[in-house]
Amino acid sequence: MLPHTTEQVHPDAHKLSDATLKDAARALAKGQREAAEAPQQAISAICSGASAMARSLTSDGSLYYVAAGSSGLMAAADAMELGGTFSIDESRIHILMAGGLPQSAHMPGDTEDDIHGLSEQLAQLGPQDTVIAVSASGTTPFTLEAARLARAAGAALIGIANNPGSPLLEQADHAIALATPAELISGSTRMGAGTAQKIALNMLSSLMAVELGHVHDGMMVNLRADNSKLRARAVGIVSRITGASATDAQIALDQTGGAVKPAVLICAGATSVGHALTLLQDSAGRLRPALLELPKRQNKTD
C-alpha cells in the first residue's frame, strides 16, 4: 500500500542535499507555489463551507476550529484574526488544538492521539454551529474524534485535508481536499500542506465575511479599530467610499464609536446614528443596499 501523499518522497528532494543552497531554495519555493494551487480544485467546497460558517454566525451559533500540530497552528492563526478583521465576537469562536495552544516553542506530538476531554469541550455543540476540522493526513485521531462528535451533534462539518479520500474528508459535509504534492522534506506538512491549508482557511473566513456583508469593494468595513493603524484605516475607508474629508470621516466615526458601516452612512447623508443603524438593520448589515436606500428615504422627507 502506497503511503499518503504527505508521506511520499518528492522527486526534487535530492536537490536539498546534492545541489547548491540556491538550488535547494529554488526547489523549496517551487514546492510552495505548487502547493498553493491546491485550493483551486476545492472552490465549491470552500464556498459551501464559508456559507455554513456565515449561517452559524447569523443564527446564534459558533465556529469551532479543531486540529493538531502544524494544522492546529494554521487553524488558530485564522480563528484569532476574525475579531480584529471582521469584529466577530470572540465568544463565538472556539479553538480546540490538541494539547492546547502552545505556550513555548515545544509542541509535543503525542497529543494528536489524545481524544480525552474532547466530548466535554464540545458538549455545547449543536446544529447551529460549524466545526472546521483540519488535518494534513486526514487521519489524526484528535481531529477525527472531533469530527465524529460534530456529526453526532448535527453541526455543520468542514473537513480540510491534504490526502483525498481520507477519513476526515469522507465524513465532512464540506470536504476540502487539498491535493498538495509530496513535501520536499518528506512528512514535513508545515510546508506545502500548511501553505495550502492557510490559503483555504483564509478563503473560508474571507468568503464568510463577504456573506455577512463585512467586506465592501475589498475593504473590511466591519473591522475593530483598536489601534492607531486600524483607526487610520477606518478613516481611510469611510473617506474612500463616500468622498468625505478625513476630518468629516473622523467626526462620523467618533459619533458611531468607531463603527465603520454607520459612519459611512452618516457621511453619505444619514441624518443620525439611529438612522444609519436602521438602514443597516433593514439591509441585513450590508452596506451597498443601505447606501442605495439612502436617496430614497431622503427623497421621501424632502
* 141 in the same domain as 47: yes
Which ranges constitute the DSSP H helices of the chain? Answer: 15-18, 21-36, 43-57, 69-79, 82-86, 118-121, 141-153, 167-171, 192-212, 228-242, 246-255, 260-267, 273-282, 287-301
If pLDDT is split at 50, 70 and 90, which confidence band does 296 have? low
Which of 212, 231, 259 is a domain's end point? 212
The larger pLDDT score, comparing residue 70 to residue 298, is at 70
Q: What's the domain count of the chain?
A: 2
The CB density around residue 228, as the number of other CB atoms within 10 Å, is 8
> 97: alpha, beta or left, given left = phi > 0 and alpha = psi -120 to 50?
beta
Asked whether residue 195 falls in the same domain as residue 227, the answer is: no
Which position among 7, 34, 81, 293 bears the catalytic label? 81
Amino acid letter, residue 236: G
8-46 confidence digits (pLDDT tens): 667 666 667 777 889 889 888 998 999 999 999 999 999
pTM given for the model: 0.89
DSSP letters spanning 112-133: GG--TTHHHHTTT--TT-EEEE
Does 112 qualify as catalytic in the annotation? yes
* pLDDT for 198 beyond 60: yes
Give the number of residues written for the chain.
302
Task: Give SS3 for 24.
Answer: helix
Q: What average pLDDT does the structure give for the chain?
A: 90
For the question of residue 81 being annotated catalytic, the response is yes
Give the pLDDT confidence score for residue 1 in this predicted structure. Answer: 33
160 and 65 share a domain? Answer: yes
Which residues, listed in sequence order, are joined to residue 63 by a DSSP beta bridge?
A: 93, 130
Range of the domain at 288: 215-301
Give the three-state DSSP class for 194: helix
Residue 100 reports pLDDT greater than 90: no
Do 140 and 228 have their domain in common? no
The pLDDT score that the predictor gives to residue 7 is: 64
Are residues 35 and 196 in contact, defined by beta-carbon separation less than 8 angstroms?
Answer: yes
Q: What are phi and psi of 229, to 5 degrees?
A: -60, -45
Q: Are residues 165 and 294 in the same domain?
A: no
Cα–Cα nearest to 199, from 140, 105, 146, 134 = 134
Marked catalytic residue, from 7, 112, 145, 170? 112
Tell me the average pLDDT across 74-99.
94
How far apart are alpha carbons 272 and 263 in whole angstroms?
A: 10
Q: For residue 219, give the CATH number of its domain.
A: 1.10.8.1080
